Amino acid sequence: MAATTPTPTCKASDEYVAPASPAAYVMWHIVKKGFQAGSVIGVAAVLPAMVLWKKVRDPTALMRALGTSAVTGAAATGALGALKFTTIDQAGFEDRAYRLHYNKGQNRTDCFSFAGAFVGLAAAAVLLPRGVAGTTAGLYGMALVGGSAAGCALGVAAHVTAPEGCGMKCPRKCPKKVKQPEGEQAKGEKA
């Protein structure tokens, strides 16, 4: 009888490799979510307010406002995250990084929002006028960020409205059960 090679249950790409700095990984997650939240708030509140009440019709100005909203969201969550980091120990960072790595909803949201942000950035680069009198490179750059934010918000909306298993293939598969890091016990377990 020929020897058979056991079939692995997961691919090497599915294996969790701890980041060099779990705290930086968690902070990157916090800033991404702040950008996403600022983008959604910008599309849902800032743009309608500018169009309806301030009567702004210039697409570059609207995209700059949306970019400012997204950057403000990222900066605010980054500052709040840094404040929260003072109360988290190394094991807490490692646990959170592990859980974020395998969180299917977070990974799916990130896939959709990154795709949308890239499309929005490309669309803004092609469609927004460059070199308008009185604009600087910084203002145009913020308008490009606004285009990326618009796409990011649409990506988040696509994630929310699209049925599970639709479209995007996200790179990480979740294990059946999230394991506890060594030395940690689940809440309610006795030693």
Half-sphere exposure of 123 (CA within 13 A, CB side): 15
pTM value is: 0.79
Judged by DSSP in three states, 41 sits in: helix
Q: What is the Cα–Cα distance from 140 to 145, expressed in whole angstroms?
A: 9
Pick the more confident residue, 185 or 112.
112
**Model pLDDT for residues 27-43, shown as the tens digit of each residue:** 999 999 999 999 999 99
Tokens 């990506």: give the residue: 155
Residue showing tokens 């092609």? 126
Q: Which of 144, 71, 149, 160 lies closest to 116, judged by CA?
A: 149
pLDDT in tens, 40-98: 999 999 999 999 999 999 999 999 999 999 999 999 999 999 999 999 999 999 999 99
Distance CA 64, CA 93 (A): 35
User: In which band, very low, low, confident or very high, does the pLDDT at 9 lie, cut at 50, 70 and 90?
Assistant: very low
pLDDT surpassing 50 at residue 189: no
Task: Indicate whether 181 pLDDT > 70.
Answer: no
